[in-house]
Amino acid sequence: MKCFATTENTEGTELSGQQLCAQRNTINARIELEHLKLELEHRRTQHFRHFIDQYFCYKNDLVTRSGLVNWGALPWKYTISAGAEKIRLANPHKLSKGAMSQLVIKEHVVPLRVIETMLLELADTGNLTCESIAAVLDQFVVFATITKTEDQVLVRQGLKDSMPEGWHPQTGSVFARYDKVGIRYTAKI
């Protein structure tokens, strides 16, 4: 946690900086869920990436000292392909953002298009709540750092925006795309 100030809560007791940040992150995550709910109620999906990624960051405490989402904290934190790990180890000094973007990418293990379809199907059931949206996101939003070469393998195999044929959300692995094309990885979920 990166916040250190203290403040009083509504009951008049003092919150530590860590408690305050956790409370703020919970509120911000809820706001992102409310955004998604509104978008789904109106069948709009063009802002999904923003709201989903923001939700993930707030839920997982990936924020700056001032409480903003910290996109730079995502690469290397979660699932890492063997190829990307090899690049990281070969460059013991932190790769600059520019150098990193030339070699590796951060991506959704389950493509956003698949998550979008799941959320639209959820909206069609009439059971659309912030809690039901969070349940989908918490299960299927997983980030990975893979090499650009591995990303191109996914593209060539038709798996950039889809899961392998026969994959089912209830029974299939979120890593099915990687398994199908032979991308080795270390999952940190």
Number of domains in the chain: 2
Of 85 and 14, the one with more pLDDT: 85
Last residue of a domain, one of 54, 70, 86: 70
CB crowding 132-164: b at 16 or more within 10 Å, else e: bbbebbeebbbbbbbbeebbebbeeeebeebbe
14 vs 69 pLDDT, higher one = 69
**Alpha-carbon distance 70 to 92, whole Å?**
22
d(C-alpha 153, C-alpha 167), whole Å: 19
Q: How confident is the model at residue 98, as a pLDDT?
A: 67
- Both 120 and 57 in a single domain? no
pLDDT at 169: 94
pLDDT: which is higher, 65 or 36: 36
Task: Evaluate if residue 38 carries a pLDDT over 90.
Answer: yes
Q: What is the average per-residue pLDDT within 82-100?
A: 79
Q: What is the pLDDT of residue 7?
A: 47
Q: Which residue has the higher pLDDT, 7 or 137?
A: 137
**Residue 85 and residue 60 in one domain:** no
Range of the domain at 79: 74-189
Q: Are residues 102 and 130 in the same domain?
A: yes
Residue 17's pLDDT band (cuts 50, 70, 90): low
pLDDT in tens, 180-189: 999 999 988 6
| Residue percentage of the chain with pLDDT more than 90 | 71
Query: Minimal CA–CA distance to 182: which of 139, 146, 142?
Result: 146
CA 59 to chain centre: 10
Do 120 and 54 fall into the same domain?
no
Q: What is the pTM of this model?
A: 0.86
- Examine the domain organization and report whether 127 and 187 are in the same domain: yes
HSE-CB for 15 with a 13 A CA cutoff: 16
**Highest-confidence range of 15-24, 61-70, 124-133, by mean pLDDT?**
124-133
